[in-house]
Amino acid sequence: MSELLIAGGRVVDPARGVDGRLDVLVREGEVVAVAPDLARGGSYERVLDASGLVVLPGLIDMNVQLREPGRSADETIASGAAAAVRGGFTAVAVMPNTEPAVDDEAGAEFQVLQGKRAGKAWIYPIGAVSRGLEGKALAELAGLKRGGAVAFSDGDRPLRSAEMLRCALLYAKMLDRVVVQHPEDYDLAKQGVMHSGRVSTILGLAGKSAASEQVMVSRDLTLAELTGAHLHLGRISTAGSLELIRVAKHKGVRVTCDVTPHHLSLTDEAVESFNPCYKVDPPLRTQRDVEALIEGVLDGTVDAIASDHAPHSPEKKDVEFQFAPSGVIGLETTLGVVIEHLVHGRGMPLTRLAELLSAGPARILGLPGGSLAPGAPGNVTVVDVDGAWTVGPEFVSRSQNSPFVGWTLRGQARYTVVDGQIAYAAEPAPAG
């Protein structure tokens, strides 16, 4: 019998309204009890001392790119799963922008199988909305669901056709799945490589305006209202977009959204260094946008924080800024950045942290987990919210393209428990 007692920690589980010093007992991969002083009531196969630490439902990252199949030099499912547990994530949802794209049942099944072989974090495929991510014909959405897809998206390629998005929303509604859309109007974004504003003008770099995101957000919200389907808008980056979403939610539109750690902590001024690790999509915006996103996180408008983990090997990323691919790695830094900037920096409650990184993603994608209720999966993240550490330059990920290298952050995963087993320990795990 597999048994693990996590003893003496502060358990924070917003889904159940729990916040207090409790023990968590996991047996045969499931939570069986959360109560005070379980450690005094008997002997257990394995005991993890969580004194002075915070015990959260296993963290879930709902926007990850793992590059397999097709671009294994950047990342594999195995290396990405290992990076995930190091960062405290017990489950990740994987975007379909692989080569070939995950646009059929077999593609989704392959990712699930590779995740099981890796034996670290749970892997959930997000299936393509369109065949080959080309935006021309709908993919086999029902087959993708059978293969294990938990949502549908064309990843970092927005659906340009309003009619295709309308149809996708209706099909996804019938299949009880959510459509995840990256809102960007290509005609307005053109060849921009950073935010369009004062800094881009000074640097002489082509910019992407805030309007290129907001126009698409407005269109997509209209279609969500029309169909009554669940639309998730990923990687929101502007104050205007967030206000549109806030108004839509008040109207009863079924919309959720996420933001990234880098859009909560960096501005377009970082690009003055021409470091390609600051080239992301959507681009880093202004301080006003950062403040608006933080306000949305704190007031509940934002439903989740996602890493947008986008690995690129050094030979691809370490080139001139305008020629570098967009994207940064984030699985190993998201928790630390969020705790440092929002918990310590803005006084965000730990209940909100758990909501944004666990309960929220689970609810949006309809996943098991997000809570430590009896019967829930034995996926647990044990966090040291005050422990300071320095980022990089070495990572478990195959790629190193992090914008946070050299930063000192407070907050890290001490233990990551998956299926009742310690998948990662920042220090030697207890014997047993």
Q: 95 with 65: CB under 8 angstroms?
A: yes
Radius of gyration of the chain (CA): 21
Tokens describing residue 333: 């830094």
- Burial, 188: exposed, middle or buried (Cβ in 10 Å; 0-12, 13-18, 19+)? middle
Tokens describing residue 375: 């019967």
- Burial, 365: exposed, middle or buried (Cβ in 10 Å; 0-12, 13-18, 19+)? buried
Distance of CA 321 to the CA centre of its chain: 25
Query: Strand pairing partners for 130?
Result: 138
Catalytic one of 308, 318, 384, 386:
308
289 belongs to the catalytic site: no
Residue 428: CB atoms within 10 A of its CB come to: 6
Query: Strand pairing partners for 422?
Result: 417
Tell me if the bond preceding 276 is cis, omega within 30° of 0. no
Length of the chain: 432
Give the H or E element holding residue 421.
strand 421-425
Q: Encode burial over 59-83: b for 16+ CB neighbours within 10 A, e otherwise.
A: bbbbbbbbbbbebbebbbbbbbbbb
Residue type, 47: V
Tokens describing residue 88: 């405290």
Active-site amino acid positions: 308
